[in-house]
Amino acid sequence: MSVDATPIWTPSAEAVGRARLTQFRLDLQSRDIIDASVRDSHALQRWSVQYPASFWAEIWRAAGIVADGPGSSDAPWSEVLFGGEHMAPPESQRGPHWFTETRLNFAEHLLRRRDGGTAIVSWNEHGAQQRLTFAELAAHVAATAAALTAAGVGVGDRVVGYLPNLPQAVIAMLAATSLGAVWSSCSPDFGTKGVLDRFGQIAPKVLIAADGYWYAGKQIDCLPRLREIVASLPSLAAVWVVPYVSDTPAIASLPGAVTFTGMLAQYATHRVPTFTRLPFDHPLYIMYSSGTTGLPKCMVHGVGGTLLQHWKELALHTDLGPEDAIFYFTTCGWMMWNWLVSALAIGSTIVLYDGAPLAPSADILWRMASEERVSVFGTSARYLAVLEKDGVHPGAQFDLSSLRAILSTGSPLASHSYDFVYAHIKSDVRLASISGGTDIVSCFALGDPTGPVYRGELQMRGLGMAVEVFSDDGTPVRETPGELVCTRPFPSMPVAFWNDPDGALYRAAYFEHSPGVWRHGDWAEITAHDGLIIHGRSDATLNPGGVRIGTAEIYRQVEQIPAILESLVIEQRLGADGDDSRVVLFVRLREGERLTDDVQRAIRQRIREHASPHHVPKVIVAVADIPRTISGKITELAVRDVVHGRPVKNADALANPSSLALFADLPELRL
């Protein structure tokens, strides 16, 4: 893929000079940790990968981590990284161990600020709902922790949330982790089976849920599902219901359930939280794979690795400070919620939104960003594409003078979306496409406040992340697509999978393809600018005629056709032995549009001219809907299974499982 020679945006010299990333680099130079040859972010990234123990010790120092043992003052560690010569050896479910001599607490760092500044702002489709100061947040956490203790929750117990994106989710998470318990959450759009497939594996002791939620103007009642869930979780000692759509939810049929507000009132005398400090690798979060190929994998993330990685990404790559407000459109079932909440460790205000991103009007999130003086606005590539298609121009409608950065993730960000952002949202803003995943609860590649932005590129690989792109024979390559891998340890690797005592599932997930090398599953390319392009999932790449094609290369072109809202592409195997194939493109059209011959010609012509003849689909089919995971990602693999007559192993992991029927036995695809 060709890349732009000229950046679409470059930071001012003043912005580069005051960036926290610059200050971090200059501090290392002033103390002779690095020499003067490390002149920019990319050189710093190379040093961080070459000397991981030194780098992560400096992140610990810069973040001001509070702990028992080495690192609590200037006392050095005897060794920062144990077993760093390998990532996952056969005899262990996880090879490297970090900062093993220290004990710390995650919630302690997110609650260090206790003043009257705003910690949380909560919005939904009806506008602003709630504000909490840092002092109020700490008091609510203290009361909730006391209630959890009374329910028998202790170190290692699981506390789970089945919640919209509300302040109560943040409070409950901080309360649980202050005690050394483990937090896990699902958003309320998960059905009963989806919730039980996840929570049923980890035997939670306390469940916090909402009575319902709003989405696109509709009120959804969660209590019927909640009754089924509670009845199927015998490990529960307590159930707390957040009154969200009703002041007095009907919880009488939930044995032993109380309202969250009632619980807070009962323990209101507890106003100062206390913290249990535990080893660096102590479980913090249990997160889940999408579950589209079977029962979701339960990934356990540790206290220290999550804290250090999130601080690095928020402070250095995002340039976030205590004076900033950060927003990310997410649910409690997506890792970006965990990432957003960690901004409290920097003393920033987090802005929560619950509801549809385009309801009650397409500009609701930008009105919120303007009124709350948001500095960092996080969203998805699909959302930006929809704004462009619908002609929504936030920059002309709202005061976005406080906005410094727009972050995008969930899928690759197309080049035309970069142009849209700078033309119609803000001309002086850093647009950072970021990429990582639930598996690492963080990013492999993300923003650089000190560097230019090029269309279609992620600015840089993450500090401390030994990200490479491998060819099919395992050779590192540049400026050509290949498998995205990580070749050296990093602290936010999962500490384990749940119910995986010998680590077999863990090793199979990441290390079977290339022993000793983390294979992430993205088809990517390192550019001439040392940036990164994500071409799609490697397990969904197309291979017509022996040429591997990333699906995002096709989506970037198709979705610029005015008649098309979104698309999905697969490779259909042909013949009895499947030794031939063809590219099949499915498109969802705008209301009132039809898939005419002219539209099909426009699609093929654009793909041929802007990608290659290999990318041109043999068959184009219009469909009414496209299946997505609950976190909003399209799922090519599920469609591929349906087209080939194979069962989809866990359709309950999809937000719209009924859409799969649209792809079954299509006459256009019969051979």
Same domain, 270 and 169: yes
Say which residue the tokens 């000692």 belong to. 237
| pLDDT tens digits for range 13-42 | 999 999 999 999 999 999 999 999 999 999
> DSSP class of residue 318?
S
Do 61 and 20 have their domain in common?
Answer: yes
Question: Does residue 323 lie within any of the structural domains?
Answer: yes
User: Given 250, 274, 298, which residue is the final one in a domain?
Assistant: 274
Same domain, 456 and 493: yes
The rounded distance, in Å, linking the Cα atoms of 270 and 264 is 9
* 473: in domain: no
Tell me how far apart the alpha carbons of residues 651 and 294 are, in angstroms, rounded to a whole number: 9
- Name the pTM for this structure: 0.91
* Contact between 209 and 226 (Cβ < 8 Å): yes
The pLDDT confidence band at residue 547, using thresholds 50, 70 and 90, is: confident
CA proximity to 508, closest of 93, 160, 13: 93
The yes-or-no verdict on residue 75 having pLDDT over 70 is no
Residue 102: both structure tokens together: 């220290």
Residue 345 neighbours by CB distance under 10 Å: 24
Residue 618 in any domain: the answer is yes
Confidence category of residue 72, pLDDT binned at 50, 70, 90: low
Token pair for 455: 């269309």
Q: 90 preceded by cis ω (within 30°)? A: no
Stretch among 95-104, 123-132, 145-154 having the lowest mean pLDDT: 95-104
pLDDT (tens digit, 9 = 90+) per residue, 481-518?
A: 999 999 999 999 999 999 998 888 898 899 988 878 99
Counting residues of the chain whose pLDDT is more than 70, the rounded percentage is 96
Q: Are strands 376-380 and 405-409 parallel, antiparallel or unpaired?
A: parallel
Alpha-carbon Rg for the chain, nearest whole angstrom, is 24
In a domain, 609, yes or no: yes
What are the residues whose beta carbons fall under 8 Å from the beta carbon of 390, sequence distance 6 or more? Answer: 362
Same-domain check for residues 224 and 311: no
In a domain? residue 8: no
Q: Are strands 298-302 and 496-497 parallel, antiparallel or unpaired?
A: antiparallel
- Whole-number pLDDT of residue 545: 67
Distance of CA 44 to the CA centre of its chain: 25
Do 226 and 265 lie in a common domain? Answer: yes
Domain of residue 219: give its range: 137-274
Q: DSSP secondary structure string, 286-337?
A: EEE---TTSSPPEEEEEHHHHHHHHHIIIIIIS---TT-EEEE---TTSHHH
Please tell me the predicted confidence (pLDDT) of residue 74: 60
- The mean pLDDT of the chain is 93
Contacts of 74 (CB under 8 A, 6+ apart): none
Question: Are both 493 and 459 inside the same structural domain?
Answer: yes
Which pLDDT band holds residue 314 (cuts at 50, 70, 90)? very high
Please, where are the H alpha helices in 122-161?
134-150
Q: Give 78's pLDDT tier (boundaries 50, 70, 90).
A: confident
Where does a domain end: 479, 499, 534?
534
Asked, as a colleague might, if the bond just before 360 is cis with ω within 30 of 0, I would say yes
Per-residue pLDDT, 90: 58
CATH number of the domain at 425, please. Answer: 3.40.50.12780
Residues 293 and 427 in one domain: yes
Nearest one of 263, 261, 254 to 224, comparing CA atoms: 254
Place of tokens 């029927």: 661
Question: Predicted confidence band at 581 (pLDDT cuts at 50, 70, 90)?
Answer: confident
User: How many Cα atoms sit within 13 Å of 466 on the Cβ side?
Assistant: 21
Q: Are residues 401 and 310 in the same domain?
A: yes
Backbone angles phi, psi at 340, to 5 degrees: -60, -45
The tens digit of pLDDT for each residue in 347-389 reads 999 999 999 999 999 999 999 999 999 999 999 998 999 999 9
**CB 457 within 8 Å of CB 533:** yes
Residue with tokens 């919880």: 251
| Coil/strand/helix, residue 70 | coil
- Taking alpha carbons only, the member of 498, 496, 495 closest to residue 202 is 498
pLDDT tens string 225-258? 999 999 999 999 999 999 999 999 999 889 889 9
Torsion-angle region of residue 399: left (phi > 0), alpha (psi -120 to 50) or beta? beta
662: domain CATH number is 3.30.300.30
Specify whether 37 is located in the same domain as 143. no
**Model confidence at 86: pLDDT above 90:** no
The predicted pLDDT at position 248 comes to 93
Is the same domain home to 322 and 441? Answer: yes
Say what the pLDDT of residue 579 is: 65
Residue 592 pLDDT class (50, 70, 90 cuts): very high
Surface-to-core class of residue 551, CB atoms within 10 Å of its CB (0-12 exposed, 13-18 middle, 19+ buried) = buried
Contact present, 89 and 319 (Cβ < 8 Å) = no
Q: Which of 274, 293, 315 is the last residue of a domain?
A: 274
Residue 2 lies in a domain: no
Residue in this structure with the two tokens 């909730």, named with its chain if needed:
144
pLDDT tens digits, one per residue of 613-637: 888 999 999 999 999 887 788 899 8
If pLDDT is split at 50, 70 and 90, which confidence band does 432 have?
very high
Q: Which residues contact 513 (CB under 8 A, 6 or more apart)?
A: 483, 519
> Which tens digits make up the pLDDT trace of 268-302?
999 999 999 999 999 999 999 876 656 789 999 99
Residue 476, pLDDT > 80, answer yes
Domain count for the chain, please give it. Answer: 3
pLDDT digits (tens, 9 = 90+) for 114-124: 999 999 999 99
| pLDDT tens column, 148-169 | 999 999 999 999 999 999 999 9
Q: What is the DSSP string of 432-459?
A: EE-EEEGGGTEEEEE--TTS-B-TT-B-
Are 390 and 294 within one domain?
yes
125 in a domain, yes or no? no
Tell me what pLDDT residue 513 has: 83
Q: How far is CA 483 from the centre of its chain?
A: 20
CATH code for position 183: 3.40.50.980
**Tokens encoding 335:** 């890792």
Tell me if 553 is assigned to some domain: yes
Instruction: Tell me: do 491 and 430 sit in the same domain.
Output: yes
| Arithmetic mean of pLDDT, 6-15 | 97
Q: What is the mean pLDDT of residues 393-399?
A: 98
Lowest mean pLDDT among 339-343, 398-402, 586-590, 643-647: 643-647
